[in-house]
Chain A
């Protein structure tokens, strides 16, 4: 069983709140929910829609075909009527959003009391919402299913909350940022809880100031983190290079969206893996981690703090709009890595430096500096082997292997459920788990799934292992939209051996 419900309307009409209420209610009834948002770069008007997929089994993605389309405006009906399944239900009464909340509860056969509870939690305009939703519940006569209450106890959160939670639990002292979609939800989340949780959140004049201030705080011993998207990360790269030579711990959250330049601000992409790996001039060590769901966001954030403090280097967390803003039902508790503060204030330098911390142009001392940084890379490699750098799912030993990273995990795992293939997720991009990947991928029919146009993980695998994935086996999506499980299932199936 797997149902898809689409809520669409103009920005300001409230499709978000509608979806959130239903998601939470379904969650409380014991169902797995995956909930994503598609919105434009505007504040009022336009066309926004959210898709809620739910199931009694774990799910991590949406499908392309809808069981229910809720159209808060005519535009939604026009655009999404074609997405309805043959017997799908279209709700297009010219009513307020809470009317539809009642109606959808009715067609799913959920007790009205559960909706009432959610409206009470929402508090705002309770009486009005109750009246509207009751009307919808009573007037709606169609039926999709009758949901039984189940015992699942999951948490419902998105990647941004995972990153924030991971940072706070890792002992974050200061988060510096400049607002930029889709990194802003982490800024908002952290800012809201700063006094209660005893850390500081600051917005400075630009991303250059953001990373510099973070570096300044870092060298006093504080645990600092910055957050941005591609363009802001570009501005940070000069200072990233400084953190590299000066050996300063710093966690950078890079939430990807389609580029180049301003690209498509509110949509999703995995186009900045190469940026994260290569940004900054000169040769220095860094960590690049790519979580694939909110739980991994939390875990890898704690690992980013651990590595950055212990090895005194920048650690980059790669997310994207799809992971940052989609809600997942997570039923396992994240395993976090503890980290101590390792920095004492001394002389740090953006020039090549000597034992005193002052600048040097001496050939011997330059050699020492370069070798010290090379050794950090080696030490990090060794230490990283203690962590889960890759994960494998599906049918072990199958001759087919689907490779993914980051947010495509959800759609791939949902797409391959019935297929004869093993799945490899790579979480550590830098250092790269060369031996483990080599072992798994040799002599396999490799299928690569990425949300970009140049297969950047494919490039990385080729660079590190010498194995080149055939172009026809690369499933790439680069229209700003995430993969949908049903469509991806067909694409993978075509390429199985």
Chain B
């Protein structure tokens, strides 16, 4: 087996995630995936939003921008337009991707620019102490919603399939799953959407139950090139009631890449 070269991906920043937070596993998985590509640190750029997930910007030694809340996809697009050779990883939380910035999430799928969108979904706004997001289950209560959430959550997998994403995947937050799916996503030619179910061990412990209910799409024989089958699989878990939760790649297809359709783009980004 080829020996994987360790990259200097660490920063001096001391992590401030809660002890035991699954974000640590996501970070480890991301590092593993980056190293597995065999590329240099400089070949990558990262963008993060605002929320617990975004702390990854401080702990991962990649250039890029720690952007604003909800404002990750357009920055990733801009990076790809500025330098199409970069491998761009965009990190968001569910508040980012599905509340404040859902329009950018939808349009990212439509553009099909060649970058990877990683959504840490803990189904709560955790850094602001546990308020509900658009993917929180009905009936969830916190100090700001004493009457309980009275709406049904979005199903992000269905949304991204409908919006035209050319790669749609979901995994549970463990190191190997994250490393595996990111390798697939980074190698995908086009926009890749990866949702990571990341239980918040403080404000949304219910998600820990998910682990017992997940099953692998690959092992179940799911055909990831079949759009209708992907939609059907996406329907199995509605983010509201704990049921069987399929994880893995729902859908992957080939579509024209946004930045490859401009004849003048390869000449951009050079000095005067």
> B10-34: contact bitstring with A at CB < 8 Å (1 yes, 0 no)?
0111000000000000000000000
Shortest Cβ gap from A313 to chain B (Å):
16
Question: Is the CB–CB distance between B81 and A202 below 8 Å?
Answer: yes
Shortest Cβ gap from A217 to chain B (Å):
4
Residues of B contacting A347 in the complex (Cβ-Cβ under 8 angstroms): 57, 62-66
Instruction: Give A174 to B80 CA distance when docked, in angstroms.
Output: 12
Question: Is the CB–CB distance between B264 and A216 below 8 Å?
Answer: no
Question: Is the CB–CB distance between B79 and A217 below 8 Å?
Answer: yes
Question: Is the CB–CB distance between A220 and B76 below 8 Å?
Answer: no
Nearest opposing residue in chain B for A171, CB measure: B272
Within 8 A of B (CB), among A152-173: 171, 173
In-complex Cβ contact of A213 among B11, B63, B66, B74 (8 A): B74
Question: Is the CB–CB distance between A350 and B67 below 8 Å?
Answer: yes
Question: Is the CB–CB distance between B81 and A350 below 8 Å?
Answer: no
Question: Is the CB–CB distance between B66 and A348 below 8 Å?
Answer: yes
Indicate the member of B62, B76, B264 with the most A CB atoms within 10 Å. Answer: B264
Question: Is the CB–CB distance between A220 and B269 below 8 Å?
Answer: yes
> B252-272: contact bitstring with A at CB < 8 Å (1 yes, 0 no)?
000000000011110111011
Nearest opposing residue in chain A for B80, CB measure: A216
In-complex Cβ contact of A358 among B58, B74, B79, B81 (8 A): B58
In-complex Cβ contact of B63 among A171, A204, A217, A345 (8 A): A345
Residues of A contacting B45 in the complex (Cβ-Cβ under 8 angstroms): 220, 345
Residues of B contacting A218 in the complex (Cβ-Cβ under 8 angstroms): 78, 82
Instruction: Give A246 to B75 CA distance when docked, in angstroms.
Output: 13
Question: Is the CB–CB distance between A351 and B264 below 8 Å?
Answer: no
Within 8 A of B (CB), among A180-224: 194-195, 198-200, 202, 204-206, 208-210, 212-222, 224
Instruction: Give A204 to B268 CA distance when docked, in angstroms.
Output: 19
A457: Cβ under 8 A from any B Cβ: no
Question: Is the CB–CB distance between A222 and B269 below 8 Å?
Answer: yes
Within 8 A of A (CB), among B187-222: none
A73: Cβ under 8 A from any B Cβ: no
A356: Cβ under 8 A from any B Cβ: yes
Instruction: Give A363 to B77 CA distance when docked, in angstroms.
Output: 34
Q: How many interface residues does chain B have, given as a range? A: 35 or more
Instruction: Give A204 to B76 CA distance when docked, in angstroms.
Output: 13
Shortest Cβ gap from B225 to chain A (Å):
28
In-complex Cβ contact of A216 among B12, B75, B107, B271 (8 A): B75
In-complex Cβ contact of B82 among A198, A212, A222, A346 (8 A): A222
Question: Is the CB–CB distance between B272 and A216 below 8 Å?
Answer: no
Shortest Cβ gap from B193 to chain A (Å):
17
Interface SS of chain B: mixed
Within 8 A of B (CB), among A350-371: 350-351, 356-359
Question: Is the CB–CB distance between A198 and B267 below 8 Å?
Answer: yes
Interface residue tally for chain A (C-beta within 8 Å): 45
Question: Is the CB–CB distance between B107 and A217 below 8 Å?
Answer: no
Instruction: Give A350 to B82 CA distance when docked, in angstroms.
Output: 20
Residues of B contacting A173 in the complex (Cβ-Cβ under 8 angstroms): 82, 268-269
> B159-186: contact bitstring with A at CB < 8 Å (1 yes, 0 no)?
0000000000000000000000000000
Answer whether A350 and B103 are a contact pair too, CB < 8 Å, given A216-B47, A221-B82: no
Residues of B contacting A350 in the complex (Cβ-Cβ under 8 angstroms): 50, 65-68
A55: Cβ under 8 A from any B Cβ: no
Instruction: Give A229 to B124 CA distance when docked, in angstroms.
Output: 36
Question: Is the CB–CB distance between A213 and B264 below 8 Å?
Answer: no
Nearest opposing residue in chain B for A343, CB measure: B82
Residues of B contacting A142 in the complex (Cβ-Cβ under 8 angstroms): none
Shortest Cβ gap from B107 to chain A (Å):
4
Instruction: Give A194 to B267 CA distance when docked, in angstroms.
Output: 12
Answer whether A238 and B107 are a contact pair too, CB < 8 Å, given A200-B268, A216-B78: no
B71: Cβ under 8 A from any A Cβ: yes
Residues of A contacting B13 in the complex (Cβ-Cβ under 8 angstroms): 356, 358-359
Question: Is the CB–CB distance between B82 and A220 below 8 Å?
Answer: yes
Residues of B contacting A216 in the complex (Cβ-Cβ under 8 angstroms): 47, 65, 74-82
Answer whether A215 and B65 are a contact pair too, CB < 8 Å, given A194-B264, A204-B74, A220-B79: yes
A323: Cβ under 8 A from any B Cβ: no
B240: Cβ under 8 A from any A Cβ: no
Residues of B contacting A359 in the complex (Cβ-Cβ under 8 angstroms): 13, 57-58, 66
B86: Cβ under 8 A from any A Cβ: yes
Answer whether A341 and B103 are a contact pair too, CB < 8 Å, given A215-B78, A356-B12: no
Shortest Cβ gap from A285 to chain B (Å):
19
Shortest Cβ gap from B79 to chain A (Å):
4
Residues of A contacting B58 in the complex (Cβ-Cβ under 8 angstroms): 358-359
Answer whether A242 and B268 are a contact pair too, CB < 8 Å, given A216-B78, A356-B11: no
Nearest opposing residue in chain B for A238, CB measure: B68
Instruction: Give A350 to B58 CA distance when docked, in angstroms.
Output: 12
Question: Is the CB–CB distance between B264 and A205 below 8 Å?
Answer: no
Question: Is the CB–CB distance between B268 and A174 below 8 Å?
Answer: yes
B155: Cβ under 8 A from any A Cβ: no
Shortest Cβ gap from A360 to chain B (Å):
9
Residues of B contacting A194 in the complex (Cβ-Cβ under 8 angstroms): 264
Question: Is the CB–CB distance between B68 and A239 below 8 Å?
Answer: yes
B158: Cβ under 8 A from any A Cβ: no
Within 8 A of B (CB), among A309-355: 340-341, 345-351
Residues of B contacting A340 in the complex (Cβ-Cβ under 8 angstroms): 271-272
Instruction: Give A345 to B86 CA distance when docked, in angstroms.
Output: 11
Instruction: Give A391 to B212 CA distance when docked, in angstroms.
Output: 74
Question: Is the CB–CB distance between A200 and B68 below 8 Å?
Answer: no
B104: Cβ under 8 A from any A Cβ: yes
Question: Is the CB–CB distance between B82 and A174 below 8 Å?
Answer: yes
Instruction: Give A348 to B46 CA distance when docked, in angstroms.
Output: 10
Shortest Cβ gap from B55 to chain A (Å):
8
Shortest Cβ gap from A356 to chain B (Å):
6
Instruction: Give A26 to B73 CA distance when docked, in angstroms.
Output: 51
Question: Is the CB–CB distance between A195 and B263 below 8 Å?
Answer: yes
Residues of A contacting B73 in the complex (Cβ-Cβ under 8 angstroms): 209
Question: Is the CB–CB distance between A209 and B86 below 8 Å?
Answer: no
Question: Is the CB–CB distance between A215 and B264 below 8 Å?
Answer: no
In-complex Cβ contact of A200 among B71, B75, B81, B104 (8 A): B81
Nearest opposing residue in chain A for B106, CB measure: A205
Shortest Cβ gap from A172 to chain B (Å):
10
Nearest opposing residue in chain A for B267, CB measure: A198
Question: Is the CB–CB distance between B66 and A204 below 8 Å?
Answer: no
Question: Is the CB–CB distance between B64 and A208 below 8 Å?
Answer: no
12 sampled A-B residue pairs with Cβ under 8 A? A173-B268, A173-B269, A195-B263, A200-B81, A208-B74, A209-B107, A216-B81, A219-B79, A224-B78, A348-B66, A350-B50, A356-B13
- Nearest first, the 6 closest Cβ-Cβ pairs linking A and B are A216-B78, A220-B82, A217-B82, A213-B78, A212-B74, A209-B74
Known: A220-B45, A356-B11. 12 other contacts (CB 8 A): A173-B82, A209-B104, A215-B65, A219-B65, A221-B82, A221-B83, A238-B68, A345-B83, A349-B57, A350-B50, A350-B66, A358-B12
